[in-house]
Amino acid sequence: MSVSYRKDMFWLAGLFIVLMLTPTILPNNYYLTIMILGCLHAMIAVGLCLLVGHAGQISLGHAGFYGLAAYTSAYLSTTWGLPVELSMLAGVVLTVVVSILVGMPSLKLKGHYLAMATLGFGIILSILFTETVDITGGPSGFVGIPRLSLAGFELHRDVDIFRVVAILLCLLVWLCFNVLHSRMGRALRALHTSDQAAQAMGIDVARHKLFVFVLSAGFAGLAGVLYAHYLTFIAPASFGFMFSVELMVMVVLGGMVSVPGAIIGAFFITILPELLRAFEDIEIILFGLILVVCMIFLPDGLAGGSARLWAWVKTKLALGCSRG
Amino acid sequence: MSFLTVIDFSSLLQYLITGLTLGSIYGMTALGFTIILNSTGVINFAQGEFVMLGGMMSVYFMTALGLTEPVAVVLAVLGTTVIGALVERLAIRPVRQSPAINLVIITIGVSILIRGLVMFFWGKDTHVLQSFSGDTPIMFLGAAIMPQALWVLGVSAFLLVGFKFFFSKTLHGKAMLACSFDVKAASLVGIGVERMVLLSFMISAFVGAVGGVILAPITMTSYDVGVLLGLKGFAACILGGLGNPFGAAAGGIVLGILESLGAGFISSAYKDALAFVILLILLFAKPSGLFGQKDSKRV
Amino acid sequence: MNRGKSLFLVIVLLFFCATAWAETIKIGAVVSVTGAASFLGEPQKNTLLQLQDLTNAKGGMDGRQVELIIYDDESDVNKCVMAARKLLDQDQVAVVIGPSISGNTLAITRFFSSAQVPLISCAAAEKIVFPVNPWIFNTPQLDRHAALKILQDAKVKGYTKLAILTVSDGYGQAGRAVLKELAKAQGFDLVADEVYSPKDTDMTSQLTKIKGVSPEAIICWGTNPGPAVVARNRMQLGLTIPLYMSHGVASDKFIELAGEAAEGLVLPAGRLTAVDQVPDDHPQKTVITDYVANYSQKFNAPISSFGGYAHDAFLLVHEAVTKGGSANPEDIRDNLEKISALPGTSGIYSYSPDNHNGLDEDAFIMVIIENGTWKVVP
């Protein structure tokens, strides 16, 4: 195994330990709620990181996949009374199937055109969530979704849900690292630089792009079903165009190519508004300002920034030691 | 009910007129996108905010400073242009070398910031601006045309002709066009690329503000009108084919008419979905928009 | 000052702080101060802050000072969930007022039954209070009552063919559902059922389509600015079909936005909208007059009935705490259910174990807009 793979695995182990210890240091459910939402956002962000950062394809439609899975699982478990585990599986599977159907024609498009196609798809879905009132409950939301359960046991406590979500996040990150360190990962980097060059090297560009697109949609789908059964309520407003944009912000702010960065970005964007709550009406101004300042001063994102900070601390420490 | 029973000539005309007015608005926003895109390769997510600023500043100058509408409107357009310049100077120029996606995220941040500032200082209320020449509709073959709609159409047409002249006849226009083809080559022949980028932000803020001002009497204005207009403008831009100002304007009109006909004949609930479905089908059939050129990229 | 004296002072101070802290009643609120529903949340926040000051100046509730903790949910479900969790877990409030919108209310009701803390919502959806959840109450008039008032008026005027034009958000969805149900039940012929998006800026297409099926009246259901656009488009198209609005636009802002096009429109509204025309002997007269006077004195903003929903929620808490003599969450809940014939700004509240809305259609009056102002339809 390569050095960088081992490094990634160390990072993953660190993430796992931190997440498992988190509930013991959090004073109450309020913080747990933030952490659960952070984990869900991080799930989508790592998938998007693969798509945007490594395959070089933009998507502004992932909120749609997130919502599609959430609504499917909510509908099957609530209206049809299917077991929660089965509905969740169906939600993810449907999302994967739809993403294949959407991805095949869309991924032939490039750059801004692809952004528009995925954006349009996301908007169409969000209109469907709003207008098919008989199925989705319409704009005021889908109520009475059963709580997440595993093997027939309902998870009443938020702590249990957090553990499930955190473990799943770690699994997805593990999957990402393995994809990146496989032949696939190298192929993706090649096609990020140039489609044509990759094609000339004998890489099946279309298939690789589609694979990553579907993988990231599947991640969003998993996050979506977990979200629906954690909150037990969903509304179309959570799956709109703005959330797709927010997801992109998480990835780019994280540093785009870095999986840990995407996770940091997701938690940052989830937690920041809560930290700024005390500022009331100027919260949104500060949020915009912080976003701009971060992007200006950390061109390689939070991941790059923290790496540089760490390097700086290390040299300072080394200096201090050598002097001492 | 089949739509054949509903269809009659004056209704159809009314839908077309409505669509044309809406479409000009989208087209103008799209024009702003195109200008910045051409000089920087960046989709400026704050474009909708320029449109909003045009309307909201006019309202502010009229209510808080007691200016008359014409003066307020001119000041608002100038003010927005200055803000466009500030955005370029403060948020874009320091990071010109970053990848385009970083710049896009910065424009998202800027749009949130501008919206937040307007909300904080000028409030969350919706405001209305007086129509420039009254509210008496002109009846034409059974369809009503608002005088303000004529203003919208006239000003859009005027701006388009102006741009045609600017890009083909003036030195600055040609220089900007050169930047859009190849930044490096442009700077090699002595074009101040940085100045051109600044100029492009000012021009698109100007176009946005003009759009916002002539729109406000029809659509009313508030701190958050920019989001939807930005979205539709972007769609219009893509529909027309990126980089082509006339394509952008045409894309806007097509989008507006699609929406209006969709609401009239099919379903008002799904009119936006319908417009986007058609947009997607078009994109799949013609991947570089209606009027875009197929670009060949060297490896 | 010697050490003994200062120590004594510190102890006394601490004692006072401790007693003051022990005695305050913590009331939580989560409203949409920003975002799409800020037109609801902003007056609600202002109203609550003012009521806190007024109540504390008069000696508080049941002799205890009130500490209000208000969070903004930015009209966003996730933010609302987090705010509710914070109020319950971190701040441990005795009762919560809000949220401003139905979707957010439905998203957080589950927390309140498990935390056993009462929630008094400022949103109107029927799903909030039917079926009754023991811990959830709401203060606004029901959409059903507004729809009944409109249809009553239409019946009197002899209209049989109706068209509806509703906004595709939670408010419009609820209105559309009750209008369709009640119009059918009362034998009206619904010839058009059109919708528009909350951010739409032109409804000419919908109105042209409605014109094609020639209804005798149009009912528009939405909140500003959409209905103002509808009114203006109607005038621009030269339509003479009578237009009803919903109580969602019963504020002076609507008249300002719609201008001349508002003339002659009829809508159901709470008595707050036409406070000067409420007869002096009406039980709501004092409470509305006081609220309007206080609010317009402190905030340089026109009064809206939405702020009134929060006002009434606070009033109900005040009543429950004072009458019951306890600020325990369970006691507040029990005592809320005992409230009967309490006049508020939106109507006269009578809660019971199987009615957590407490208003009836008498909470509405029909008003017509004439010469840029509201006039009660007798």
Residue of C nearest to A27 (CA): C90
Residue burial C152-187, b: 16+ Cβ < 10 Å; e: rest: ebbeeeebebbbbbbbbbbbbbbbbbbbbeebeeee
Q: Residue A267 and residue C214: Cα distance in Å, rounded? A: 55
Residue C136: inside a domain, yes or no? yes
Q: Which residue of C lies nearest to B134 if distances are taken between CA atoms?
A: C236
Select the more confidently predicted residue: C303 or C286. Answer: C286
Task: Locate the chain B residue with the closest alpha carbon to A53.
Answer: B101
Chains sharing 3 or more CB pairs under 8 A with chain B: A, C
Q: C127, A235: Cβ pair inside 8 Å?
A: no
Structural domain count of chain B: 1
pLDDT at B297: 43
Name residue, tokens 């939070």: A302
Using an 8 Å CB-CB cutoff, list chain C residues near A130: 168
Q: How confident is the model at residue C232 (pLDDT cuts 50, 70, 90)?
A: very high
Q: Is the ipTM of this complex over 0.95?
A: no
C279-297 per-position pLDDT tens digit: 999 999 999 999 999 998 8
Cβ of A110: how many Cβ atoms within 10 Å?
16
Compute the residue count for chain A.
324
- Given CB atoms, is A136 within the 8 Å cutoff of chain C? no
By C-alpha distance, which of A59, A51, A34 is closest to A179? A51
Residues C97-109 have a mean pLDDT of 93
Same domain, C241 and C182: yes
Name the residue among B115, B234, B287 with its Cβ closest to that of A109. B287
Please state whether beta strands C189-196 and C342-343 pair in parallel, antiparallel, or not at all (unpaired): unpaired
Res. A155 pLDDT band, cuts 50 70 90: confident
Disruptive mutation site among A26, A126, A140, A157 for chain C (greatest number of C CBs within 10 Å): A140
Q: Do C238 and C327 belong together in one domain?
A: no
C7 and C137 assigned to the same domain? yes
Using one digit for the tens of pLDDT, what is the confidence trace for A66-109? 999 999 999 999 999 999 999 999 999 999 999 999 999 999 89
Q: Mutating which of B21, B138, B220 best tests the C interface, going by the most C Cβ atoms within 10 A?
A: B220
Q: What's residue C2's pLDDT?
A: 60
Residue B299 has pLDDT above 60, yes or no: no
Q: Please write the tens of the pLDDT for every residue from A55-65.
A: 888 899 999 99
Q: What percent of chain C has pLDDT over 90?
A: 79
Q: Is C199's pLDDT higher than 90?
A: no
We report the CATH number of the domain holding residue B227 as 1.10.3470
In a domain, B97, yes or no: yes
pLDDT in tens, A28-63: 889 999 999 999 999 999 999 999 988 888 899 999
Q: Is B115 on the interface with A (CB under 8 A)?
A: yes
CATH code, domain with C252: 3.40.50.2300
Contact yes or no for C208 and B264 at CB 8 A: yes
- Asked whether residue C16 falls in the same domain as residue C131, the answer is yes
From B222's Cα to the closest Cα of chain C, the distance in A is 10
Of the residues C228, C245, C269, which one is the last residue of a structural domain? C269
B299 occurs within a structural domain: no
Residue B294 lies in a domain: no
C10 and C123, same domain (yes or no)? yes
Residue C251 confidence (pLDDT) above 90:
no
Give the domain-ending residue among C269, C303, C325.
C269
Q: Which of C204, C234, C269 is the last residue of a domain?
A: C269
Q: How confident is the model at residue A1 (pLDDT cuts 50, 70, 90)?
A: low
Average pLDDT, integer, range B119-132: 89
Asked if residue C31 is part of any domain, the answer here is: yes
Over residues C331-342, the mean pLDDT reads: 95
Residue B273 at interface with chain A, using a CB cutoff of 8 Å = yes
B110 contact A CB<8A? yes
Q: Tell me if C238 and B139 make a contact (CB, 8 A cut-off).
A: yes
Q: Are C247 and C268 in contact (CB under 8 A)?
A: yes
CB contact under 8 A, C209 and B6: yes
Q: Do B108 and A110 touch (CB under 8 A)?
A: no
Which pLDDT value is given to residue C35? 87
- A-chain CB neighbours of C169 within 8 Å are 139
Q: Is the pLDDT of residue B54 over 70?
A: yes
The total number of structural domains that make up chain C: 2
C43 and C120 together in one domain:
yes
Does residue B291 form part of some domain? Answer: no
Chains that touch A (3 or more CB pairs under 8 A): B, C
A266-280: pLDDT as tens digits? 999 999 999 988 887
Residues in chain C closer than 8 A to A34 (CB atoms): 82
Q: pLDDT of B151-190, one tens digit each?
A: 999 999 999 999 889 888 899 888 888 887 787 888 888 8
Residue C14 confidence (pLDDT): 55
d(CA A120, CA B277): 8
**Same domain membership, residue C131 and residue C30:** yes
Three-state DSSP state, B13: helix
With CB atoms and an 8 Å threshold, state whether B273 touches A241.
no
Query: Is B121 among the domain residues?
Result: yes
Query: B11 and C208: CB-CB below 8 Å?
Result: yes
C132 plus C154 within the same structural domain? no
C154 within domain boundaries: yes
Of A14-18, A122-126, C183-187, C297-301, which gets the smallest average pLDDT? Answer: C297-301
Question: Are residues C194 and C100 located together in one domain of the fold?
Answer: no
Q: What is the mean pLDDT of residues C302-313?
A: 91
Asked whether residue C71 falls in the same domain as residue C170, the answer is no
In a domain, C280, yes or no: no
Q: Does C130 lie in the same domain as C6?
A: yes
B293–chain C nearest CA distance, Å = 32
CA pair distance A296, B96, nearest whole angstrom: 10
Residue C373 domain flag: no
**Domain region containing B157:** 3-285
What average pLDDT does the structure give for chain C?
91
Q: Nearest-CA neighbor of C238 among B5, B221, B14? A: B14
Q: In terms of Cα–Cα distance, which of B248, B256, B212, B215 is closest to B31?
A: B248
Measured over the CA atoms of residue A277, residue A281, residue A282 and residue A287, the dihedral's sign is positive
Q: Is residue B293 part of a domain?
A: no
Domain that holds residue C151: 143-269
Q: Model confidence over A174-221: pLDDT tens digits? A: 999 999 999 888 888 888 777 788 888 888 888 999 999 999 999 999
Q: Residue C7 falls within a domain, yes or no?
A: yes
Contacts of C172 in chain A (CB under 8 A): 139
% of residues, chain C, pLDDT over 70? 94
pLDDT level of residue A324 (50, 70, 90 thresholds): very low
Summarize the confidence of residues A252-258 as an average pLDDT.
89
Q: Report pTM.
A: 0.91
Burial code (b: 16+ CB inside 10 Å, e: under 16) for B262-296 equals: bbbbeebbbbbbbbbbbbbebbeeebbbbbbeeee
Q: If phi over 0 gives left and psi between -120 and 50 gives alpha, with beta otherwise, what is residue A115?
A: alpha
Residues C20 and C112 in one domain: yes
In eight-state DSSP terms, residue C262 is: G
Q: Which domains does chain A have, with CATH numbers?
A: 3-275 (1.10.3470)
Residue C350 CB neighbours (<10 A): 15
pLDDT mean across residues, chain A: 91
